[in-house]
Structure 1
Amino acid sequence: MLLDIRNLQVRLPDQGRKLHAVRGLDITVEAGETLCLVGESGCGKSMTALALMGLLPPRAERSADRLRFGDTDLDRLSERAMSGLRGRRMSMIFQEPMTALNPVFTIGDQLRAVYRRHTGAGSAAAQTRAIEVLESVGLTNAALRLSQYPHQLSGGLRQRVLIAMALICEPELMICDEPTTALDVTTQAQILHILKQAQEARNMGMIFITHDLGVVARIADRVAVMYAGHVVEEGTREAVLRKPAHPYTRGLIASVPRPQGAVPGSTRLASIAGNVPAFHHEDARCPFLSRCTSKLAICAEAPPVVRTAVSGQKVACHLQLASSTGAGETLSA
């Protein structure tokens, strides 16, 4: 097991209260596997990534029953040890390529600094490695690019530089936080291809954060659907996309634009009414209760995690127990 997370909690200070950004999250990632974290903005996807990388904001609180990366307990690492691991064995592609690179340093300065920091290599070796990794992500004239500043590159080229920076030390796990957002569809396809090639070449585990189900269908091995800090459904790509079991997952899939509209014979786009709630206290109810159109009286209680009999994914929903055809093994209360 490359990554094994149990009961991850992240709390953020908010006007004298604690905002529960991630609540009881369980995920695993194997070497060579891609896990997609899916959900609306504000569901805790990026906070999960930052918690794993040890990059949470000041005064944020992180706790977990298990937070293991290979043979390393991330919860017990000092900041110095985490800094040595971050960028070397674990790397992250941040969400916004326009601002993730330092504007006052050249591309070469930034790539060489990462490589020398983690490997102790000399300047000549770092220069050679920087050119190699830029070429591996499809940049032509790589030696020339090293002397350029971020503002001299397009958004797509900057995204390739961020991928190169994440790959330069050949990590075991890469976290991609919406790396194709704001890119045109052609560039998006190229970026996904580069990531998949890099993963296969290194047998690298990958956590891919996105709200684009088209990207999920293309790149995921497994999918974890997050809502209000919880994983409400988790399973293989085929199970989650073809036979979604949670009302929230079904709502996300129904909201994908279609040429003839979301409903046959209609041009109106489907949507999920309401907004993702912000929880400032522990709440025993189903987090999707206020927006669910299929809720039962029992949904006022915390839902159990159930493994569906039909397609095998794990779902936190009372409807799975109430259904005579979709219910399966109860995993937890």
Structure 2
Amino acid sequence: MNLLDIRNLSIELVNKQERTLAVERVSLAMKEGEVRGLVGESGSGKSLLAQAIVGVLSDKWHVTADRFHWRGKELLHLPLDERKAIISKDVAMIFQEPMACLDPTTTVGEQLEEAIASSMLSGNFWQRRKQRKEAAIRLLHKVGIKQHTYCSKSYPHQLTEAFCQRVMIAMALARRPKLLIADEPTAAMEATNQSQIFRLLASLNQLKNMSILLISHDLENITHWTNTITVMYSGQFVEAGTTEQIFNQPLHPYTQALLDSSLNANSNLPAKSRLMALPGSIPILQHLPIGCRLGPRCPRAQKACVNAPKVKNYHGHQVSCHYSLKELY
């Protein structure tokens, strides 16, 4: 049984006069202990999908799905409070902007201690305060913060964004979630710190059997840490498969373009040469193309692309394209 099983999830932005389909019929499944990458350009709907899973979208976003199962239980049929109680217990999320997520009026130590569930403590109430402090220090050490005293007594604005991101990771780990959603967890960090965080997530996956949904715009970077990858473009599902399938045999023109624009693919280019890239930019919500949203930028686009393509399955390697690259292999 899948830990998370979402089929044909759509997210609409509801304004006074119109409804805009920001995410269109995206499916996502995760098994226990799996590390899945969710990849796409900024504006592709990755963070919206993650926030819909956690249940933190505001009322202006309307979420529908044919199936939204968490450990076999259909969540969309439950009252909102009950759904949030289930998700908050088993799912944690590391948000993309840590400064905006931390309370500026409370010290980092107090916020981290508050994130530790009472069920993880033992003894009488006067012993639990000390246990919370000790648990908070262990979490800070786990994410690579050695100056735990300075960090605990500081307010978010007194720390760098990289420090705040580590604190957010520590808060996410405090409840020992079964699924950790990491939305660009290393965006504000240097390369050495990025590797440390990725190794931490990998060890949690291996030692605690924690499932991880790793969201990134850098396809090449996350191939070292994931088992499977799902690619999105402008709110639509593009391709999904094992990391080896996606990296070595991409079937969608957009996935191929992401790989062609990576540093490794362009390492032999002469100085000041143009990098490989698709023409144009990702469309805005107010002017989405009909059918396949990659159509205006796609080098293989034809008349049929004005209709939304159906998902094709090649032995577990899924692609949503009228003219996939399958025939090239």
Q: TM-score, normalised by structure 2?
A: 0.89
Q: Is the 8 A contact 1:37 1:226 kept in 2?
A: yes
Shift of 1:305: 1.4
- The residue aligned with 1:65 is 66
Q: Is residue 165 of structure 1 aligned with residue 174 of structure 2?
A: no
Deviates more, 1:284-293 or 1:2-11: 284-293
Structure 1 equivalent of residue 112 of structure 2: 111
Kept after mapping to 2: 8 A contact 1:225/1:249: yes
Report the RMSD for the aligned CA atoms in angstroms.
2.6
Q: CA deviation at 1:169?
A: 0.9
**Pairing 1:270–2:271 present:** no
CA contact (8 A) 1:18 1:281 kept: no
SS in 2 for 1:41: coil
Note if contact 2:219-2:259 (Cα within 8 Å) is conserved in structure 1. yes
| Corresponding residue to 1:185 among 187, 191, 198 | 191
1:313 aligns with 2:317: yes
Does the alignment pair 1:206 with 2:212? Answer: yes
Per-residue CA distance 1:56-84 (angstroms, 9 max, x = gap): 12221001111111143221333332343
2:99 aligned residue: 98
Equivalent-residue separation in structure 1 for 2:114 and 2:180 (angstroms): 19
Q: Which moved more, 1:75-84 or 1:43-52?
A: 75-84
8 Å Cα contact 1:67/1:75 also seen in 2: yes
- TM alignment of 1:16-165, pairs within 5 A: 16-116=17-117, 122-165=128-171
**Residues of 2 paired with 1:240 and 1:323: CA distance?**
12
With over 3 angstroms needed to count, the CA separation of the structure-2 counterparts of 1:246 and 1:15, relative to structure 1, is farther
Q: Verify the 8 A CA contact 1:255 1:262 in the aligned structure 2.
A: no
Equivalent AA in structure 2 for residue 316 of structure 1: S
Q: 1:71 to 1:126 in 2, by over 3 A?
A: farther
Q: Contact (CA 8 Å) 2:259, 2:265: kept in 1 or not?
A: no
- SS of the residue corresponding to residue 49 of structure 1 reads helix
Q: What is the distance in 1 between the residues matched to 2:39 and 2:299?
A: 21
Partner letter of residue 308 of structure 2?
A
CA contact (8 A) 2:266 2:276 kept: no
- Deviation for aligned residue 1:150: 1.8
Equivalent residue number for residue 4 of structure 2 = 3
Inter-CA distance 266–108: structure 2 relative to 1 (3 Å threshold)? closer
The alignment partner of 2:223 has SS state of: helix
Per-residue CA deviation, residues 149-198 of structure 1 (Å, 9 max, x unaligned), is 22332332222111110010100001111111132111111111111112
Query: 1:229 and 1:274 mapped to 2: Cα distance?
Result: 17
Conserved 8 A contact 1:101-1:150: yes
Matched, 1:217 2:223: yes
Q: What is the aligned counterpart of 2:244 among 232, 238, 243?
A: 238
Counterparts in 2 of 1:47 and 1:169: CA distance versus 1, 3 Å: same
Aligned AA for 2:143?
V
State how far apart, in whole Å, the 1-side matches of 2:118 and 2:22 are: 32
| 1:134 CA drift (Å) | 1.7
User: Are the structure 2 counterparts of residues 147 and 165 from structure 1 closer, same or farther at C-alpha, using a change threshold of 3 Å?
Assistant: same
CA change 1:259–1:71 in 2 (3 A) is closer
| 8 Å Cα contact 2:205/2:212 also seen in 1 | yes
Q: Report the CA distance shift for 1:308/1:123 in structure 2 as closer, same or farther (over 3 A).
A: same
